[in-house]
Copies of this chain bind each other. A is one copy, B any other.
Amino acid sequence: MQSKIALEEHWESPDFYATGSHDFVNADYFADVQRRLQEVDQRVEDMDRNGIGVSILSLTQPGIEGVTDTGKAVDLARRMNDQAAELVARHPERLRAFAAVPLQDPEKAADELERAVRELGFVGALVNGYSNVGDETTAQYLDEPQVDPFWARVQQLGVPVYLHPRIPLPDQQRIYRGYEGLLGSAWGFGQETATHALRLILSGLLDRYPDVNIVLGHLGEGLPFTLPRVEHRLRHQRPETHGAHEKPPTEYLRNNFYLTTSGVFRTQALLNTMLEVGTDRLLFSVDYPYESMDELAPWFDECPISETDRAKLGRTNSEKLFGITQPAA
């Protein structure tokens, strides 16, 4: 399939080592990842070979969210976005960008998002999970009240926010002891992110800002499988213990979220997801360079869904969401 759009595609500046700890990762693999993060030309060749028309770049995790000093986070986000704009300018037909936002100061994050969208032509923001504010043991989740001004601006600008995984907090890693590779791999990241997404769903945020669209990668971090049971069980929990949401949790997942295939090329899980949320809000993605376009794209091109849905997931849903125009297929 040609002209696919991918939207969990990462970059890193040589000026800011954004990737955090990688102690558990094979050294060769990580060296290759880092080289690919810092360039866009070979990337566009990979895109050509795999029928990917447009990649939307985002600063790799933990990125700005891991910068404990607020002032530094604000400056760095601006600088990173300017650099991302320069990368996009090298291949203006093939690249777009999500803004990095300094959520340590939500008002400034809102301003930076607005600047990125209006002045740099960015298509939304990507947030790497919780933010450290002050030191590395702190976590500010996106449903906390002080983040509200950011969401108000998101709704006003009408752009989506990608909630990207981040590794669990250091003091939450006990059950992974002896299995740190499990923590560092998809599992720890996915558990953290799914729980973070659940907080957003339950909090009432999406009732206050009903037009907000949140993007989750990795087929919704497993929520299509697990959320129906959570919803079913919450009826027995005291109301004050599960947020101010007004609608059933699965309704938000269907109406306020987009889910991508980033990093998951498993048809079985895709079918589960389609039967829970439909195909109007599913989007192809890769998670480059942590994942390989050469693995994800051929799977997607051949997986047993209708060609109608392949066109929607691969291209047209994203074209509508991000206002991207591509040449006819």
Residues on A lying within 8 angstroms of B by beta carbon are 24-26, 29-30, 139, 141, 168-169, 171-172, 174-176, 178-182, 184-187, 190-192, 195-196, 198-199, 202, 218-219, 222, 224-226, 228-230, 232-234, 236-243, 250-251, 254-255, 263-264, 266-269, 271-272, 274-281, 303-309, 312
Whether A174 lies near B171 (C-beta < 8 A) is yes
Whether A139 lies near B175 (C-beta < 8 A) is yes
Whether B186 lies near A230 (C-beta < 8 A) is yes
Q: Contacts A218-B229, A225-B272, A267-B304 given; 16 further ones with Cβ under 8 A? A: A171-B171, A175-B192, A179-B242, A181-B240, A182-B242, A184-B237, A184-B241, A185-B230, A185-B233, A222-B225, A225-B268, A254-B307, A266-B304, A274-B274, A278-B305, A278-B306
Q: Give CA–CA (A240, B181) in the complex, Å.
A: 8
Q: How far is the CB of A232 from chain B (nearest CB, A)?
A: 8
| A interface, over-half SS | helix
Q: Which residue of B lies closest to A312 (CB)?
A: B278
Q: Give CA–CA (A226, B219) in the complex, Å.
A: 10
Q: Identify the 4 closest CB pairs spanning chains A and B, nearest first.
A: A181-B241, A181-B237, A278-B308, A267-B304
Identify the interface centre among A139, A168, A218, A222: most chain B CB within 10 Å of its CB.
A222
Q: What is the count of identical protomers in the complex?
A: 4
Q: Give CA–CA (A305, B226) in the complex, Å.
A: 16
Whether A26 lies near B236 (C-beta < 8 A) is yes
Q: Give CA–CA (A30, B238) in the complex, Å.
A: 11
Complex interface: chain B residues within 8 A of A281 (CB) = 308
Q: Which residue of B lies closest to A168 (CB)?
A: B175
Whether A228 lies near B266 (C-beta < 8 A) is yes
Q: Give CA–CA (A185, B172) in the complex, Å.
A: 19
Q: Give CA–CA (A181, B242) in the complex, Å.
A: 5
Q: Give CA–CA (A100, B26) in the complex, Å.
A: 42
Given A195-B191, A274-B306: A264 and B229 interface contact (C-beta under 8 Å): yes
